[in-house]
């Protein structure tokens, strides 16, 4: 599911004997037996759920569970991710195949998901050498990612058995209220600009537009390309917040992470990718619209996503501050919270 070159020795330890026992008992019908000793490495690219490559000889599996510490309501929902992938994989081949789900927290301390292992490359800190040799690779990668998002939004939820995944009516209202509530729990001290942005977002909220499956965290490093193919996304991961709702929330999220050369702030502090030569944000919107998708009020959705990103960074920083992780990358995220909230405020004021 994630690229091999983003694995490392395990830093977040689980009860490996219990996990091994569960896997051997519940995944006995896999193609290829779970032969030999179990070996584990940890995927290191992401910042949220704990994700491991678990291997038995040549058989590799991906195991995902929520991070340690306090979990925000609705986040890291492994049961939801299992449900989404079970329905989506047969009709959308960029969704990995779900192999199992365990709700019993006595096994490894939290519910967990088992997914097929897909290999490939993720465009994160730099373009991998295997893709960098292609001409105009930055724009080709940009186009492929935007096209994958448009194709996801074109999936019929009923065909995937996911027509009851969420409640489209009132979706944006619940998003605004939910993320504001997360901030109240995560904020170390009052931040007036954050509440001011929330008030502006509520006052300018667009009316209901289209309804589709929404990934809810769509960005470059949640996508995978084949090592020698820059023109098509082969896998998308981290579906634990997927729902039915307004597809422009996904486009807004993608734009909030997307860097233009003249940006005044660090828009995406969790990703060090130099996006010189990639499509601009305006071109992202244009290509998505060319697929027949609505882009009305997209500035509002980008501001909402930027405000939401500030919450996410605060939550990640809090995990580090509380000692729930040894990932020191999270310790550098707190300094970006206020600038992102102020940037969201400026975008709304300009609109």
**Pairing relationship of beta strands 212-214 and 233-236 according to DSSP bridges:** unpaired
pLDDT of residue 32: 62
For the full predicted model, state whether its pTM sits above 0.85.
yes
Task: Look up the CATH architecture of domain 129-350.
Answer: Alpha-Beta Complex (3.90)
- How many percent of the chain have pLDDT more than 70? 95
Pick the CATH number of 4-116 from 3.30.420, 3.30.200, 1.10.357, 2.60.40: 3.30.200
Query: Which comes out higher in pLDDT, residue 83 or 12?
Result: 83
Burial of residue 282 (CB within 10 Å: 0-12, 13-18, 19+) is exposed
Nearest to 313 by CA among 213, 221, 215, 179: 179
Kindly list the distances between the CA atom of residue 131 and the CA atoms of 1, 37, 122, 142, in Å, as whole numbers in the listed order: 18, 34, 10, 13
Per-residue confidence at 47, pLDDT binned at 50, 70, 90? low
- CA-to-CA distance for 51 and 155, rounded, in angstroms? 27
pLDDT given at position 34:
86
Q: What is the pLDDT of residue 333?
A: 82
Q: Which residues pair with 116 in a beta bridge?
A: 61
Q: For the residues 130-139, what does the mean pLDDT come to?
A: 96
- Higher-scoring residue by pLDDT: 347, 69: 347
Residue 98: which pLDDT band, with cuts at 50, 70 and 90?
very high
Fold identical between 4-116 and 129-350? Answer: no
Rounded to an integer, the average pLDDT of 34-50 is 85
β 233-236/223-225 pair status: antiparallel
Burial class (CB in 10 A: 0-12, 13-18, 19+), 61: buried
pLDDT at residue 345 tops 90: yes
Task: For residue range 107-118, list pLDDT tens digits in order.
Answer: 999 999 999 999
The neighbour count for residue 259, using CB atoms within 10 Å, is 17
> Any idea where the domains of the chain sit in the sequence?
4-116, 129-350
- Residue 29 banded pLDDT, cuts 50, 70, 90: confident
pLDDT digits (tens, 9 = 90+) for 176-219: 999 999 999 888 888 999 999 999 999 999 987 789 999 999 99
For 286-340, the pLDDT digits (tens) are 999 999 999 999 999 999 999 999 998 998 888 888 787 777 777 778 788 999 9
- Which of 26, 29, 53, 27 minimizes the C-alpha distance to 40? 53
**Rounded CA gap, 81 and 239, in Å?**
5
- Which tens digit of pLDDT belongs to each residue from 220-274? 999 999 999 999 999 999 999 999 999 999 999 999 999 988 887 777 776 678 8
Place 11 in a pLDDT band, splitting at 50, 70 and 90: confident
Average predicted confidence (pLDDT) for the chain: 91
Q: What's the pLDDT at 280?
A: 96
Average pLDDT of span 77-81:
96
Q: What is the mean pLDDT of residues 56-73?
A: 88
């Amino acid at each position: 599911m994630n690229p091999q070159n983003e694995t490392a020795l395990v830093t977040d330890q689980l009860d490996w004997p219990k996990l091994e026992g569960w896997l051997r008992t519940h995944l006995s019908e896999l193609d290829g037996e779970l032969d030999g000793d179990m070996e584990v490495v940890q995927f290191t690219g992401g910042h949220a759920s704990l994700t491991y490559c678990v291997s038995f000889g040549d058989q590799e599996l991906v195991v995902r569970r929520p991070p340690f510490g306090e979990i925000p309501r609705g986040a890291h929902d492994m049961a939801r991710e299992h449900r989404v992938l079970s329905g989506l994989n047969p009709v959308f081949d960029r969704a990995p195949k779900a192999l199992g789900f365990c709700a019993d927290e006595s096994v490894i301390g939290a519910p967990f998901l088992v997914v097929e292992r897909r290999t490939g490359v993720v465009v994160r800190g730099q373009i991998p050498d295997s893709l960098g040799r292609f001409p105009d690779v930055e724009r080709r990668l940009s186009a492929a990612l935007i096209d994958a998002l448009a194709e996801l939004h074109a999936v019929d939820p009923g065909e995937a058995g996911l027509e009851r995944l969420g409640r489209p009516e009132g979706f944006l209202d619940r998003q605004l209220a939910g993320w504001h509530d997360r901030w109240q729990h995560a904020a170390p001290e009052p931040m007036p600009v954050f509440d001011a942005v929330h008030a502006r977002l509520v006052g300018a909220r667009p009316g209901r537009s289209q309804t589709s499956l929404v990934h809810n965290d769509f960005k470059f490093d949640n996508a995978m390309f084949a090592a020698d193919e820059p023109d098509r996304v082969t896998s998308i991961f981290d579906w634990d917040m997927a729902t039915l709702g307004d597809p422009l929330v996904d486009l807004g999220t993608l734009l909030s992470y997307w860097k233009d050369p003249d940006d005044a702030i660090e828009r995406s502090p969790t990703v060090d990718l130099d996006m010189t030569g990639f499509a601009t944000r305006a071109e992202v919107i244009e290509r998505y619209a060319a697929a027949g998708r609505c882009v009305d009020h997209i500035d509002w959705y980008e501001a909402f996503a930027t405000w939401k990103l500030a919450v996410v960074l605060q939550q990640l920083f809090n995990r580090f501050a509380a000692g729930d992780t040894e990932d020191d990358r999270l310790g550098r995220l707190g300094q970006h919270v206020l600038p992102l909230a102020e940037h969201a405020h400026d975008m709304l004021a300009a609109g």
